[in-house]
Amino acid sequence: MNTEELVELAQQLRVDSVRAAAAAGSGHPTSSMSAADLMAVLLARHLRYDFERPAHPGNDRFVLSKGHASPLLYAAYKAAGVVDDEELVTFRKLGSRLEGHPTPRRLPWVETATGSLGQGLPVGVGIALAGQRLDRTGYRVWVLCGDSELAEGSIWEAAEHAGYEHLDNLTVIVDVNRLGQRGPTRHGHDLDAYARRFRAFDWHTVEIDGHDVDAIDRAYGEALSTRGQPTAIIARTLKGKGVADVEDHEGLHGKPLKNADDAIAELGGPRGITLHVHEPPSARSPHPAPAGRIELPRWEKGEQAATRDAFGQALTALGTARPDVVVLDGEVGDSTRAEYFAKEHPERYFECYIAEQQLVATAVGMAARAWLPYASTFAAFLTRAHDFVRMASISGSGIVLNGSHAGVAIGQDGPSQMGLEDLAMMRAVHGSTVLYPCDANQTAKLVAAAAGLEGIRYLRTSRGGSEVLYGPDEEFPVGGSKVLRSSAEDRLTLVAAGVTVPEALAAADALAGEGIRARVIDLYSVKPVDRDTLRRAAEETGCLVTVEDHHPEGGLGDAVAEALADGGPVPRLVRLAVRTMPGSAAPDQQLHAAGIDAESIAAAGKLLVEEAVVR
Amino acid sequence: MNTEELVELAQQLRVDSVRAAAAAGSGHPTSSMSAADLMAVLLARHLRYDFERPAHPGNDRFVLSKGHASPLLYAAYKAAGVVDDEELVTFRKLGSRLEGHPTPRRLPWVETATGSLGQGLPVGVGIALAGQRLDRTGYRVWVLCGDSELAEGSIWEAAEHAGYEHLDNLTVIVDVNRLGQRGPTRHGHDLDAYARRFRAFDWHTVEIDGHDVDAIDRAYGEALSTRGQPTAIIARTLKGKGVADVEDHEGLHGKPLKNADDAIAELGGPRGITLHVHEPPSARSPHPAPAGRIELPRWEKGEQAATRDAFGQALTALGTARPDVVVLDGEVGDSTRAEYFAKEHPERYFECYIAEQQLVATAVGMAARAWLPYASTFAAFLTRAHDFVRMASISGSGIVLNGSHAGVAIGQDGPSQMGLEDLAMMRAVHGSTVLYPCDANQTAKLVAAAAGLEGIRYLRTSRGGSEVLYGPDEEFPVGGSKVLRSSAEDRLTLVAAGVTVPEALAAADALAGEGIRARVIDLYSVKPVDRDTLRRAAEETGCLVTVEDHHPEGGLGDAVAEALADGGPVPRLVRLAVRTMPGSAAPDQQLHAAGIDAESIAAAGKLLVEEAVVR
Q: Which pLDDT tens digit goes with each residue over B364-421?
A: 999 999 999 999 999 999 999 999 999 999 999 999 999 999 999 999 999 999 999 9
pLDDT of residue B400: 98
**What does the DSSP assignment read for A266-333?**
HTT--------PBPPPP-----PPP----------TT-EEEHHHHHHHHHHHHHHH-TTEEEEESS-H
What one-letter code names the amino acid at B110? V
B595 three-state secondary structure = coil
Same domain, residue pair A489 and A449? no
Mutate which of B74, B116, B152, B356 to test chain A, going by most A C-beta atoms within 10 A? B152
Q: How far does the CA of residue A569 sit from the closest CA of chain B (Å)?
A: 5
Q: Which chain A residues have a beta carbon less than 8 Å from that of B157?
A: 151-153, 156
Active site residue A207: no
pLDDT of residue A289: 67
Calculate the alpha carbon distances from B506 to B561, B578, B589, B591, B600 in Å: 24, 19, 16, 13, 11
User: Using the beta-carbon criterion (under 8 Å), do B157 and A160 form an inter-chain contact?
Assistant: no
Q: Considering only CA atoms, which of A282, A451, A280, A458 is closest in space to residue A367?
A: A451
User: Using the beta-carbon criterion (under 8 Å), do A151 and B567 form an inter-chain contact?
Assistant: no
Which of A427, A442, A467 represents a domain boundary (last residue)? A467
Span B224-241, pLDDT tens digits: 999 999 999 999 999 999
Same domain, residue pair B109 and B245? yes
**Domain-located, residue A288:** no
User: Could you say which of A94, A413, A574 has the minimum Cβ distance to residue B565?
Assistant: A574
Domain assignment of residue B579, given as a range: 483-614
Q: In the structure, what pLDDT confidence band is assigned to residue B615 with cuts at 50, 70 and 90?
A: low
Interface ipTM > 0.85: yes
Residue B323 DSSP symbol: T
Residue B180 has pLDDT above 90, yes or no: yes
Q: Which helix (H) or strand (E) holds B494?
A: strand B492-496
pLDDT of residue A290: 67
Active-site residue, selected from the candidate residues A111, A157, A160, A356: A356
Same domain, residue pair A440 and A500? no
**CA-CA distance, A447 to A312, in Å (whole number)?**
9
Q: How far does the CA of residue B423 sit from the closest CA of chain A (Å)?
A: 9
Same domain, residue pair B361 and B507? no
Q: Considering only CA atoms, which of A211, A260, A277 is closest in space to residue A15?
A: A260
Q: In the structure, what pLDDT confidence band is assigned to residue B286 with cuts at 50, 70 and 90?
A: confident
Q: Considering only CA atoms, which of B490, B552, B494 is closest in space to residue B521?
A: B494
User: Using the beta-carbon criterion (under 8 Å), do B416 and A115 form an inter-chain contact?
Assistant: yes
pLDDT of residue A288: 67
Dihedral of the alpha carbons of B254, B258, B264, B270, in degrees to the nearest 10:
70
Active site positions of B, annotated: 356
User: Using the beta-carbon criterion (under 8 Å), do A527 and B553 form an inter-chain contact?
Assistant: yes
User: Using the beta-carbon criterion (under 8 Å), do A100 and B414 form an inter-chain contact?
Assistant: yes
User: Could you say which of A197, A390, A424 has the minimum Cβ distance to residue B201?
Assistant: A197
Q: CATH code at B347?
A: 3.40.50.970
**CA-CA distance, A174 to A46, in Å (whole number)?**
17
Q: How far does the CA of residue B325 sit from the closest CA of chain A (Å)?
A: 22
**Domain-located, residue A113:** yes
Mutate which of B150, B584, B591, B611 to test chain A, going by most A C-beta atoms within 10 A? B584
Calculate the alpha carbon distances from B300 to A379, A596, B447 in Å: 48, 50, 18
**Domain-located, residue B516:** yes
Q: How many CB pairs under 8 A join A and B?
A: 358
User: Could you say which of A26, A567, A569 has the minimum Cβ distance to residue B412?
Assistant: A26
What one-letter code names the amino acid at A116? S
pLDDT of residue A388: 98
User: Could you say which of A96, A562, A586 has the minimum Cβ distance to residue B575?
Assistant: A562
- Closest residue, chain A, to B562 (C-alpha): A558
pLDDT of residue A284: 86
- Closest residue, chain B, to A117 (C-alpha): B354
**Domain-located, residue B271:** no
What is the average pLDDT value for chain B, to the nearest integer?
Answer: 96
Same domain, residue pair B379 and B492? no
Does residue B314 contact residue B444 with C-beta atoms inside 8 Å?
yes
Same domain, residue pair A181 and A260? yes
Bridge partners of residue A375, in order along the sequence: A328, A401
Same domain, residue pair B168 and B227? yes
Span B17-59, pLDDT tens digits: 999 999 999 999 999 999 999 999 999 999 999 999 999 999 9
Q: How far does the CA of residue A180 sit from the closest CA of chain B (Å)?
A: 8
Residue B471 has pLDDT above 70, yes or no: yes
Give the list of residues 6+ apart from residue B131 with CB closer than 8 angstroms, or none: B61, B137, B138, B139, B140, B141, B169, B369
Same domain, residue pair B78 and B223? yes
**Domain-located, residue B241:** yes
Q: Considering only CA atoms, which of A346, A368, A184 is closest in space to residue B331?
A: A184
Mutate which of A387, A404, A613 to test chain B, going by most B C-beta atoms within 10 A? A387
Residue A48 DSSP symbol: B
Residue A27 DSSP symbol: S
User: Using the beta-carbon criterion (under 8 Å), do A553 and B562 form an inter-chain contact?
Assistant: yes
The ranges of chain A with pLDDT < 70 are 288-291, 614-615
Q: CATH code at B529?
A: 3.40.50.920
**Domain-located, residue B173:** yes
Same domain, residue pair B259 and B315? no
- Closest residue, chain B, to A382 (C-alpha): B387
Residue B11 has pLDDT above 90, yes or no: yes
Same domain, residue pair B461 and B492? no
User: Average pLDDT, stretch B555-567?
Assistant: 92
Same domain, residue pair A257 and A308? no
User: Average pLDDT, stretch B203-226?
Assistant: 98
Q: How far does the CA of residue B148 sit from the closest CA of chain A (Å)?
A: 7
Q: How far does the CA of residue B551 sit from the closest CA of chain A (Å)?
A: 6
User: Could you say which of A67, A200, A339 has the minimum Cβ distance to residue B200?
Assistant: A200
Q: In the structure, what pLDDT confidence band is assigned to residue B288 with cuts at 50, 70 and 90?
A: low
**CA-CA distance, B59 to A24, in Å (whole number)?**
56
**Domain-located, residue A293:** no
Span A137-176, pLDDT tens digits: 999 999 999 999 999 999 999 999 999 999 999 999 999 9
**Domain-located, residue A58:** yes
What is the average pLDDT value for chain A, to the nearest integer?
Answer: 96
Q: How many domains does chain A have?
A: 3
Does residue B455 contact residue B398 with C-beta atoms inside 8 Å?
yes
Percentage above 90 pLDDT, chain B: 95
CA B169 to chain centre: 23
User: Using the beta-carbon criterion (under 8 Å), do B430 and A105 form an inter-chain contact?
Assistant: no
User: Could you say which of A331, A356, A575 has the minimum Cβ distance to residue B562?
Assistant: A575
Percentage above 70 pLDDT, chain B: 99
Give the list of residues 6+ apart from residue B260 with CB closer than 8 angstroms, or none: B18, B19, B21, B22
Which of A266, A294, A323 represents a domain boundary (last residue)? A266
- Closest residue, chain A, to B420 (C-alpha): A428
Same domain, residue pair A453 and A487? no
Which of A467, A496, A520 represents a domain boundary (last residue)? A467
User: Using the beta-carbon criterion (under 8 Å), do B562 and A567 form an inter-chain contact?
Assistant: no
Give the list of residues 6+ apart from residue B111 with CB closer than 8 angstroms, or none: B61, B62, B63, B104, B123, B124, B127, B365, B368
User: Using the beta-carbon criterion (under 8 Å), do B584 and A200 form an inter-chain contact?
Assistant: no
Helix/strand/coil (H/E/C) assignment for every residue in A123-175: HHHHHHHHHHHHHCCCCCEEEEEECHHHHCHHHHHHHHHHHHCCCCCEEEEEE
